[in-house]
A and B are shown apart, each in its own frame.
Chain A
Amino acid sequence: MARYRYPVIAESEVTPRELFRQRRRFIQGGAALGAAALAPGLLLPSSAYAWQESLADRLEGDLPSRGFAGGETLTPRKDATAYNNFYELGVRKSDPEVYAHKLITDPWSLTIDGEVGKPGTLALEEVLKRETLEERIYRLRCVEAWSMVIPWVGFPLADLLKRHAPTSRARYVHFESIHDPENLRGQKSSILDWPYREALRIDEAMHPLTLLAVGMYGEVMPNQNGAPIRLVVPWKYGFKSIKAVVRITLTEERPVSAWMEQNPEEYGFYANVNPEVDHPRWSQARERRIGKRGKRETLMFNGYAEEVAELYAGMDLNEHF
């Protein structure tokens, strides 16, 4: 359905990213200088843009890239950033892009606590400094029966968890999103019990496919897609992949997610993509690939059965939906 409007800008006309970025830094520097000249006391602390700047620099280097979507075509970036479920920014698919600027991501810190030997709260730049970034191309399947193919940039969640030494009692990993009702319009209404919360079993969290993503399409994560740091669990429905994470808590008891709380009949703890188990209100057998015509059949575990099916061996997936 994508129809391009002419004139299309020639590749040669596009400003190279490096030039654009230099220009931006120059302007920002100029603005900071100007502000400093007018009111020296207002000079921004040097860390104000720390994580964005350093992450953008790293994304310009060559990151290792691996495809996990069977070579399927990437969803156009303009679609992946304009059709989102991010209820903090509004319930319509177009809202997150429109209200993206309302998500304040700088400064950002991440707390890791609960059943870990080394708990702590770290500035995002500290977290990122420790990790090796890579690009991973995954399918994303929403519980609403649509899907995309997205090149994420991030690092395995396991890498981060191991640094904080989970104890033997850590059986689940609980995630919490930003809570900022003053800026986030969705959090002013009670569609969900804010903040958004999600959880994984520890073996799901430690699985090598489970990612903490900080970028997509080779760029810093757009706000509407869950900046600055979000979970990506490609074999589960999209709502499990919590956005704008501020806290990761390891627990002994199984946590209750925001969606389970809102409607336990419809949203289970596992929420694995499964064409054979329908949502009570609609079928999960097929999906609409965004940007393409028609419907395609949904794959078991979203096509990651080979990698993850063993996690659920012997479980009745009708019951543990």
Chain B
Amino acid sequence: MSIANGPVLMFRLLVLASGLLPALWLAWRWGQDDLGVVPEEAVVHLTGRTGLVLLLATIAFSPAFRLTGWVGIMIARRQMGLWAFAWLCAHALAWMGLEQYWAWEWIWHDMRDLPYVRYGVVGFVLLVPLALTSFRRVRQAMGERAWHWLHRLVYVSAALAATHLWILTRADYRLPMLVVAVVAALILFRLVDAALHRR
């Protein structure tokens, strides 16, 4: 992976920026007390949205590679996936700390009783083994075939995330509709691609 040519390096820096800049922006606005009347709520929403966007971007790396054939995309994919995971970790922590204020009985109650929380939790938990097996050595130990099978879970996770967002939306469905459309398109591409290039 040490192909340190210019375009690849630039692309990796771009991925770094997409993971880091939202965090700087959020921290800056928190410092400026510019997160609205309920900053806790804003943090929960912003971490969730950023995590979801980065997760969808990670999935989109694969079709982007199929279409362009540029290897730099695949080199940066793990990095993007880990950024998405980091943001979704932040989202889970923000929900527990800033929405539930660490009231464990309520955290447990809502995970058990509220469908949107359940979908979110399952979608998040599915990402944990993917993050843990994202390192080269683990991947090699697993074997490519098993690794690819396992990492298809990312599609399940994205679908659950879209459902999570859909359920908690109250009136304006533009954003969840967009997310559902993107997830559907990514899954469709994967299926068509697999059918055309049966390996």
Contact = CB atoms under 8 A, between A and B. Distances in A.
A146 B101 contact: no
Nearest to B115: A281
B36 A294 contact: no
Contacts of A5: 33
Contacts of A283: 109-110, 113-114
A82 B113 contact: no
B172 A91 contact: yes
Interface stretch (B37-45, B123-131, B139-147): B37-45
Contact of A83 (B33, B38, B172): B38
A253 B79 CA distance: 62
B14 interface: no
A contact face: mostly helix, strand, loop, or mixed: loop
B114 A281 contact: yes
Interface in A267-286: 278, 281-283, 286
Nearest to A191: B171
Contacts, number: 52
B132 to A, nearest CB: 32
Contact of A146 (B33, B38, B106, B170): B38
B101 A144 contact: no
A1 B103 contact: no
Nearest to A148: B37
Interface in A115-161: 144, 146
A283 B38 CA distance: 19
A295 B98 CA distance: 10
A290 B33 CA distance: 15
A238 to B, nearest CB: 13
B40 A1 contact: yes
A194 interface: no
B91 to A, nearest CB: 17
A82 B37 contact: yes
Contacts of A294: 101
A82 B38 CA distance: 10
A93 B37 contact: yes
A295 B38 CA distance: 13
Interface in B91-117: 100-101, 103, 106, 109-110, 113-116
B101 A93 contact: no
User: Quick one: which of A82, A283, A286, A293 has the most chain B CB within 10 A?
Assistant: A283
A318 to B, nearest CB: 16
Given A283-B109, A290-B37, A91 B171 contact: yes
A87 B170 CA distance: 11
A1 B167 CA distance: 28
Interface of B: 33, 36-41, 100-101, 103, 106, 109-110, 113-116, 167-168, 170-172
Top 9 nearest A-B pairs (CB, nearest first) are A83-B37, A91-B172, A191-B171, A79-B37, A3-B33, A294-B101, A82-B37, A1-B39, A91-B171
22 contacts: A1-B38, A3-B33, A79-B37, A82-B37, A93-B38, A94-B36, A144-B170, A146-B38, A189-B172, A191-B172, A262-B171, A278-B113, A281-B114, A281-B115, A281-B116, A281-B168, A282-B116, A282-B168, A283-B109, A286-B106, A290-B37, A290-B38
Interface of A: 1, 3, 5, 79, 82-83, 87, 91, 93-94, 144, 146, 189, 191-192, 262, 278, 281-283, 286, 288, 290-291, 293-295
